[in-house]
Amino acid sequence: MSSYSLTSSELATYQNDGFCVVASLLSVDALAAVYSLLDEAKSLVARGEVSKSWQTDMTAWERDLTCDSLIVRKVPAPFEHSEQFRSIFSSPVILDRVEQLIGSEIFLHSSKLIFKPPQIGRRKPLHQDLAYWDDMQAPQITVWCAIDSATPENGCLEVIPRSHKKGLIPHADLEDWQINEHTLEDKAVCIPMNAGDVMFLDVLTIHASLANRSNCGRLAAIVNYYSEPRRSDQRSKYGSETPLRTRSLLSAKALLHD
């Protein structure tokens, strides 16, 4: 077993509940590197210099009606645009754990930073990640990283444990692309996380994030990993043809001990 593997307890929790949290997985330096990307994005918006990749994703910024200025809500595709980000999220610290959950062939699915501004960061309703790309059915995982501490006051995740066992539930365009929450019997539970904690989340696990009603912003990095190369007939825009990992040292060691 790699020193970066999920423990047997973490693995059992993931399999049973559809998610697990690994504490203090990202270093202080890694948190600072990710935060610098948000600062860079804020500077670009303030100067009116928005990259072409942002022009196809209008949710990257929104107008703050309280002061008629633009605020950053999402930074798209940091994995593609930042060598530091790519180094962090293709390291054995992350990929050894991802491999345990989706297999030894790992491809980037997608990446983004999500920022909830103080007082006005809105709630993301209950949903399953797979509903956004339901033609990508191979094993995959969402890695949700608290760059700031995430609390019930500033917008932590709330998750319905064991909901990944229900399969894909119909979604509708209501407040967002979401599940009709009135149809759900099970209640979501808040999952507070400290800065540097990482959640490994099954793409069928129902989850939401709370609104930010605090005086502090909340930044999260979200990276999705996939187990197959992007297909030519795929409807979804996500995925890559270049593997981040094929057969790893972790897999080779496991074979030697079979």
pLDDT in tens, 207-220: 999 999 999 999 99
- Say if 146 falls within a structural domain: yes
Q: Is the confidence at residue 74, as pLDDT, over 50?
A: yes
Q: Which residues have C-beta within 8 Å of that of residue 242, sequence separation ≥ 6?
A: 107, 108, 229
**Per the domain annotation, does 174 fall within a domain?**
yes
The span from the CA of 34 to the CA of 148, in Å, is 10
- The reported pLDDT for the residue numbered 254 is 54
131 located within any domain: yes
251 token code pair: 């897999």
* Phi/psi at 159 (5° precision): -130, 145
Q: What is the pLDDT of residues 11-23, one digit of tens each?
A: 999 999 999 999 9
Question: Is residue 29 in some structural domain?
Answer: yes
Whether residue 78 is contained in a domain is answered as yes
- Could you list the residue range(s) of the whole structural domain that residue 223 is in? 8-256
pLDDT of residue 64: 67
104 within domain boundaries: yes
Mean of the pLDDT values across residues 237-252?
81
In a domain, 13, yes or no: yes
Q: How many domains does the chain have?
A: 1
Q: How far is CA 89 from CA 23, 158, 222, 234, in A?
A: 16, 24, 10, 25
Residue 95: which CATH number?
Answer: 2.60.120.620
d(CA 145, CA 27): 12
> What are the tens digits of pLDDT across the range 155-177?
999 999 999 999 999 999 999 99
Residue 167 in domain: yes
